[in-house]
A and B are shown apart, each in its own frame.
Chain A
Amino acid sequence: SQTIHQWPATLVQPVGSPLSLECTVEGTSNPNLYWYRQAAGRGLQLLFYSVGIGQISSEVPQNLSASRPQDRQFILSSKKLLLSDSGFYLCAWSEGRGRQPQHFGDGTRLSIL
């Protein structure tokens, strides 16, 4: 069966520090991969998605970036965090074809001080 791992679960970082959140998927190949951010009590905001290695699409201009160095690995990064980057970050995957549901990781709660 397929599983998705996202870490860390919680992160507290100072303003201006770098960020690296990692997400890996097991049990499937060539998945679509997604990074979402969710502000407290709000809906999901799509940040990045990828349909293949090295293929990254950005939905919202920001100081974050994403990379997909391997088929089942998706990384969210920042060189310098802002206070506004605080939030709950969710990684998700879906099958590459058809109308397939997304499957989410457990999320990372990021607090910027």
Chain B
Amino acid sequence: AQKITQTQPGMFVQEKEAVTLDCTYDTSDQSYGLFWYKQPSSGEMIFLIYQGSYDEQNATEGRYSLNFQKARKSANLVISASQLGDSAMYFCACLRSGGSYIPTFGRGTSLIVHP
């Protein structure tokens, strides 16, 4: 079974600064994918970024990057130049290969961006 741990229930950051949201995972699979989602107060879940377990380079999508450290089983999300609109819940998830269609989600981290 997989497990996702997000140890930060809440984070605060000043606008325009960078922030790192932690995610560690526990899986015995060799092939898997890691995902980050954003959930604003309106409720919709928005896919942000994906990292494959065999990808050698860290994934980047605009202001989002994923700090992937496979040996430590961590997949931290880095948001650069924070904006007020980044205030939301952020969820980390893991999906193993080999026929599983069900990702395992962490409990989420609440990010508040201060002006």
Contact = CB atoms under 8 A, between A and B. Distances in A.
Interface in B57-89: none
A34 B103 CA distance: 11
Given A43-B108, A99-B33, A107 B102 contact: no
Contacts, number: 50
Interface stretch (A20-28, A44-52, A64-72, A74-82): A44-52
Interface in B21-37: 31-33, 35, 37
Contacts of A42: 107
Contacts of B43: 88, 90, 106-107, 109
A107 B101 contact: no
Nearest to A42: B107
Given A90-B45, A106-B44, A99 B52 contact: yes
Nearest to A46: B102
Nearest to A90: B45
A104 interface: yes
Interface of A: 32, 34, 42-44, 46, 49, 51, 59, 88, 90, 92, 94, 98-99, 101-107, 109
